[in-house]
Amino acid sequence: MNLYDTISAISTPMGEGGISVIRVSGENTFAVIEKIFFKDNLMKKKFTFADESTHTIHFGYIFDNKNKNLTDEVLISIFKNPNSYTGEDVVEISSHGGSFITQKILNILLQNNIRHAEPGEFTKRAFLNGRIDLSQAEAVADLIKAKTDSAHSSSIKQLEGSLSEFVKKTQQDIINIVSLVELELDFAEEGLEFVKKDEIKLKVETLNSKLEKIISSYITGKVIREGVNLVIAGKPNSGKSSLFNYLLNHNRAIVSEIAGTTRDYIEENLILKGILFSLIDTAGLRDSDDEIESEGIKRSFKKIRDADLILYLIDSSTDENIIKEDEKYFKDNFYEEKSILIYSKSDLRNKNNFNNKNGVKIKPDKIEISLLKDESIETLKNEMLKKVAVSEINTSSNEIILTNLRHKICLEKVVTSLNEAIATIQTGMSGEFISVDLRNALKHLGEITGETTNDMILENIFRNFCIGK
């Protein structure tokens, strides 16, 4: 990929709409646009970029310069380098919406020695031209994909440079320690000791615990970015589909008193406190001779295996022994840290003589719900948020929440290097060796913002962008 090519792409999604935007960036941008864009519909009144200021919008006509056919009436926005998204000369053509027109305009541009942009290439140029750093470029992709408030707010903060600032501050902290170590080296020959090794060790340890805290925010970050796979499971007739509908506030799944109603799983989105839950209702778990039901149960297990969180329902209106059996089944087959055990239909419990004297004793920490009486649904929702580790972290606060796996891996490498520095201090090795470890930590920090990076990493990041961004 040649960085100096002039590139173009349709930046708005395919399909019909009011307007579409075609973006052009690179050093030939203005020259090519002057060949195809005119102030009148007869190709007589030329448009000259040299006469116009940056950040202005102009009305005119796009022509196919090969056959002189009028293609569309458009507005063009001018961004002269370096004050553009990419840092290069940029023109954005706002044409009438519709894939036919936009494709036609793009083709005219491509006939004029302009290359089709790769996914994310505009943003990549913004990074390579120093307009934004790598963590901000990644935030652009996340911002486009955001489906909830929390995902939106974490990516906009990152785009505004919250992570970049944190990286810069941490780099400065490490540089300060390196300077102390290296100053020490200069004077070591003269037998002077400026700072105690213990003091340096303490500084590195303090920094490390700060970084570890941020690394641990990744669990929350992943939930914010990707959402949670939430599966409702349990024996037939335990009220799974009813709960599914209740949470969605919509009669999506068929509910009946016949055991084995739900065959195939059903998936819908639910947003709670800004967290996206992919809610999945499954077929009731039991041994079945029915071929279709068995296939449904097989699918239930697959969904359960892939789930981030499982709501396991036990029908509290059934017989005590059946409940006990079901509790055992749950204990033997589900991970407690990934599941919430729920006793459903609590309104029917007393009617069926299930009281605490001779009936089932439901442990106080377990959740009993009744959809009929709207009982404990809020408790359940809070428990769901607590289980996915988002209840304590205020997503609107200024605390850094890591949402990107690459950033997490870089920070882990920083921590490893800092731990090596601590070990080096402990073995009493000379300052030179401590300094090497600390400089490694600096290098890994720089990978987050792209100060130290390689082409493979870049390609990997921008490959996941959409075309035209």
Ligand X SMILES: Nc1nc2c(ncn2[C@@H]2O[C@H](COP(=O)(O)OP(=O)(O)OP(=O)(O)O)[C@@H](O)[C@H]2O)c(=O)[nH]1
Chain contacts with ligand X (rule: CB under 6 A): 234, 236-242, 255-257, 259-262, 283-284, 344-345, 347-348, 370-372
> Cβ(25)–Cβ(122) under 8 Å?
yes
> Hey, what amino acid is at 247?
L
245 in contact with Mg ion (CB under 5 A)? no
Phi-psi region of 464 (alpha: psi -120 to 50; beta: other; left: phi over 0): alpha
Q: Does the footprint of Mg ion cover residue 344 (CB under 5 A)?
A: no
Burial code (b: 16+ CB inside 10 Å, e: under 16) for 194-204 equals eeebeebbebb
List the single partner that 372 binds among Mg ion, ligand X, none, CB under 5 to 8 Å by kind: ligand X
**CB 6 to ligand X: min, Å:** 58
d(CA 384, CA 230): 9
131 binds, among ligand X, Mg ion, none (CB under 5 to 8 A by kind): none
Nearer to ligand X, 287 or 392 (CB): 287
- CA angle in degrees (0–180, nearest 5) for 249-253-255: 100
- Six token digits for residue 205: 């340890």
221 binds, among Mg ion, ligand X, none (CB under 5 to 8 A by kind): none
Give me the least distance between CB of 261 and Mg ion, in Å please.
Answer: 5
Categorise residue 274: left if φ over 0, alpha if ψ from -120 to 50, beta otherwise.
Answer: left
Nearest approach in angstroms of CB 244 to ligand X is 7
Whats the size of the chain, residue-wise? 469
Q: How far is the CB of 458 from ligand X (least distance, A)?
A: 48
From the list ligand X, Mg ion, none, partner contacted by residue 150 (C-beta under 5 to 8 A by kind): none
Q: Which does 19 bind (CB under 5 to 8 A by kind): Mg ion, ligand X, none?
A: none
**Binding status of residue 261 toward Mg ion by CB under 5 A:** yes
Interatomic CA distance for residues 6 and 381, integer angstroms: 52
Does position 262 bind Mg ion by CB under 5 A?
yes
| Gap between the Cα atoms of 442 and 455, Å rounded | 19
Residue 453 as a binder of Mg ion (CB under 5 A): the answer is: no
Least distance (Å) between residue 334 CB and ligand X: 16
DSSP type of residue 15: S
CB 82 within 8 A of CB 54: no
Least separation in angstroms between CB 364 and ligand X: 20
Q: Rounded CA gap, 101 and 71, in Å?
A: 7
241 binds Mg ion (CB under 5 A): yes
Task: Tabulate helix, strand, coil % of the chain (nearest 5).
Answer: 45, 15, 35
Task: Work out what residue 237 binds among ligand X, Mg ion, none; the CB cut-off runs from 5 to 8 Å by kind.
Answer: ligand X
From the list ligand X, Mg ion, none, partner contacted by residue 219 (C-beta under 5 to 8 A by kind)? none
Nearer to ligand X, 256 or 426 (CB): 256
**Contact code string over 193-232 relative to Mg ion, x by CB under 5 A:** ----------------------------------------
CA 382 – CA 45 distance, rounded (Å): 66
Task: Give me the residues that bind Mg ion (CB under 5 A), please.
Answer: 240-241, 261-262
